[in-house]
Amino acid sequence: MEERKIEILLNKYLQGTATAKERTAVEEWYLKFKETERPEITDTFVESSTDRIWQRLEAQFDLPEQTTTIPLHRRISTWAAAAAIVLVALAGLFYHYSNGSIAERPGLANQSDVAPGGNKAILTLANGKKISLNDAENGALAQQAGISISKTADGQLVYEPKALDKELSPKEISYNTVETPRGGQYQISLPDGTKVRLNAASSLSYPATFAGQDQRMVQLTGEAYFEVAKDKQHPFTVKSKGQEITVLGTHFNVNAYADEPAVKTALLEGSVKISAGTVAVVIRPGQQASLKNGNINIEEVNTSVMADWKAGKFRFKNEPLASILRRVSRWYDVEIVYSPGFKDMPTFTGSVSRFDNVSAVLKMLEETSDVKFSIEGKTIKVQ
């Protein structure tokens, strides 16, 4: 097997640079494989795409979500069938792609299509230097305040504490920012062990080290999923669009986009305190707090739906069309245009993979309503 060709093709697809024919090859064989035999693929190759492959498995087969990043080859003992799916799909993918036996899959109404987003982000260091994480080589990127900053093969930005020469004071702290574009996402591992997944069109500002600080404070715009490392002596605080979230160690999702009518915080594990002006509430797992016009409303929710993007899905539960299309716009980096006189805003319940082309999402919406879509380049027209 020409393993290198498979790796190049898969990486192009995951990063959104594959041609239409290459995307078709990946998608068709991902969906239509048969478990026949297990090819020989090295651990290095498998690990290089493990996080994104596992997200695809979660999205396609509704597998339980993992709370830690575990190399795929180590998961085989527990998820043997799922791992075999990936390996067999890759073998079939290479064979049929190299022999040109897969036809182009037509998009919505035989029109142009738009590929999904991928791992794309810009890291801005304290000195103002900007690093394109999708272009940077894997390995060490920089060092700040005794912290080693590196990019891993599975698309993560990792901050690893080293020995400090002295205790740092707050004024000496170096602040970094990671920004994802429309059509991008990225995962960051902070020096305290906290993991943050940034959704499209989002940014996170944070200290390169938490040494010398009474609390761990970060600033968020957009959407992120947090897995906060426990540290009772140093609370973790997230500032976002008029509110502060304070935790000791927990898992939660924050949606704080500027174009959304409310800031939504959904809790999956632990407890969090949300403060906005003079108002403060504490929510428990399975609840979501919505901040709007200075008021905080708490409701019971399906948290897997609220953090669907982390598992590689679009999930809708009685969600208005306008809300769905805002998400589509950010992830596929497209403009949404409503036809003159369009007023009907139906709600939808359903699920579709975020790794499908945009036509798959639109087709699902069309099949369950009278709404029609057309794709013209990077513009989606709603009729």
- Is 70 exceeded by the pLDDT of residue 356? yes
Confidence of residue 49 (pLDDT cuts 50, 70, 90): very low
Structure confidence by residue, pLDDT tens digits, 76-128: 333 444 444 454 445 544 444 444 443 444 445 446 799 999 999 999 999 99
- Is 80 exceeded by the pLDDT of residue 162? no
Burial of 242 (0-12, 13-18, 19+ CB in 10 A): middle
Give the pLDDT of residue 259. 95
> How far is Cα 209 from Cα 167, in angstroms, rounded to an integer?
11
> How far is Cα 219 from Cα 182, in angstroms, rounded to an integer?
19
Structure confidence by residue, pLDDT tens digits, 176-232: 999 999 999 999 999 999 999 999 999 999 998 888 888 999 999 999 999 999 998
Domains, the chain, ordered by start: 3-105 (no CATH), 118-306 (2.60.120.1440), 312-382 (3.55.50.30)
6 versus 241: the higher-pLDDT residue is 241
Give the pLDDT of residue 316. 87
| Predicted model pTM | 0.72
Give the pLDDT of residue 161. 82
Give the pLDDT of residue 256. 97
Give the pLDDT of residue 303. 79
Burial letters for 290-329: b for 16+ Cβ neighbours within 10 Å, e otherwise? bbeeeebeeeebebebbbbbbbbbbbbeebebeebbebbb
- Is 80 exceeded by the pLDDT of residue 3? no
Give the pLDDT of residue 74. 39
- Is 80 exceeded by the pLDDT of residue 291? yes
Give the pLDDT of residue 67. 40
Structure confidence by residue, pLDDT tens digits, 57-76: 444 444 444 444 444 333 33
> How far is Cα 63 from Cα 80, in angstroms, rounded to an integer?
12
Confidence of residue 145 (pLDDT cuts 50, 70, 90): confident
Structure confidence by residue, pLDDT tens digits, 16-48: 666 766 766 666 555 544 334 434 444 444 444
Give the pLDDT of residue 370. 86
Measuring CA to CA, which residue among 331, 379, 310 is closest to residue 182?
331
